[in-house]
Amino acid sequence: MSVLLESKNVSKAFGGVKAVNNIDMKIMKGDIFGIIGPNGAGKTTFFNVCSGVIPPSSGQVFLNGELITGLKPEQIAQRGMARTFQNIKLFNYMTVLENVKIGFHMHTKTNMFDAILNNKRFKTDEEMVTEESKKVIEEVGLSQFMNVPAGNLAYGIQRKVEIARALALRPEILLLDEPAAGMNPNETWELLEFVKKINKKGYTIAVIEHDMKFVMNLCKKILVINFGTKICEGDPAHVKNDSQVQEAYFGKGTTL
């Protein structure tokens, strides 16, 4: 298996705060890779650097061996990376299909001018976008909700639609930022099965999550960050038994 996403010595400082400190990471093609750490550890900042939302203070990020540091988020998306955000939600009054179609926006060549003139290119793009969006929705098993306004769906389903929208770009790797936040145990379990399913379809997954059980049951490899620094990396069993990890989460003398 080859390396899909790699960070080398990535650091990010905000004024005096070193939010991310010299992080090296390698995510292999086909993996489900977890990033965990206590509140404020630097997980989201690290994701933001990897996906081009913010530049690193130093270090480099490679996607499929290509240096992507300095590229804009949409350029990185075009090279095969998609992500969900903690706080960007669905459009409640739009259907599932319409929401997923928005995810395609970056993939089509149509510009605003074409759309206003409603010319031939717009029509072809629009048809293609509708067809492809339907395919994504079917592929992830959400067909029954295709024409339902997103706001009418249960919370757990809405989260799945957010993931489907990110898949509209047909990424090689999908970055999920706390997908299980606010979910009850049932929804969390269903989400776990959902993420496993899309991974089996060939998408590599990187996930930030607070829910330790979720990460332990989902991920093949886990990176643990504390105060911006990598403190441990390995399979779930290794991470679970690591004394530094236990200390970071629960304080001295406590075990998971």
Ligand X SMILES: Nc1ncnc2c1ncn2[C@@H]1O[C@H](COP(=O)(O)OP(=O)(O)OP(=O)(O)O)[C@@H](O)[C@H]1O
Over its C-alpha atoms, the chain yields an Rg (Å, rounded) of 19
Size of the site for ligand X (CB under 6 A): 11
CA dist 63 and 58 (Å) reads 17
Q: How many CA atoms lie within 13 A of 122 on its CB side?
A: 9
Q: At closest approach, how far in Å is the CB of 154 from ligand X?
A: 24
CA dist 160 and 217 (Å) reads 18
Q: Which of 9, 14, 127, 185 binds ligand X (CB under 6 A)?
A: 14
Q: Mask 98-137, x = binds ligand X (CB under 6 A)?
A: ----------------------------------------
Q: Which of 19, 68, 157, 215 binds ligand X (CB under 6 A)?
A: 19
Q: At closest approach, how far in Å is the CB of 47 from ligand X?
A: 8
Q: Which of 37, 52, 56, 59 binds ligand X (CB under 6 A)?
A: 37
The DSSP symbol for 41 reads S
CA dist 255 and 1 (Å) reads 34
The DSSP symbol for 105 reads G
Name residues whose C-beta falls within 8 Å of residue 205's C-beta, 6 or more positions apart in sequence.
31, 32, 33, 173, 174, 176, 195, 198, 199
Q: Mask 38-77, x = binds ligand X (CB under 6 A)?
A: -xxxxxxx--------------------------------
Q: At closest approach, how far in Å is the CB of 251 from ligand X?
A: 18
Q: At closest approach, how far in Å is the CB of 45 from ligand X?
A: 3
CA dist 252 and 243 (Å) reads 9
Our finding on whether 87 is near ligand X (CB under 6 A) is no
Q: At closest approach, how far in Å is the CB of 227 from ligand X?
A: 9
Pick the stretch among 13-21, 58-66, 88-96, 151-159 that binds ligand X (CB under 6 A): 13-21
**41 vs 82 by CB, closer to ligand X:** 41
**17 vs 67 by CB, closer to ligand X:** 17
CA dist 11 and 228 (Å) reads 8
- SS3 state at 37: coil
Phi, psi of 178 (to 5 degrees): 50, 60
Q: Name the residues that contact ligand X, by CB under 6 A.
A: 14, 17, 19, 37, 39-45
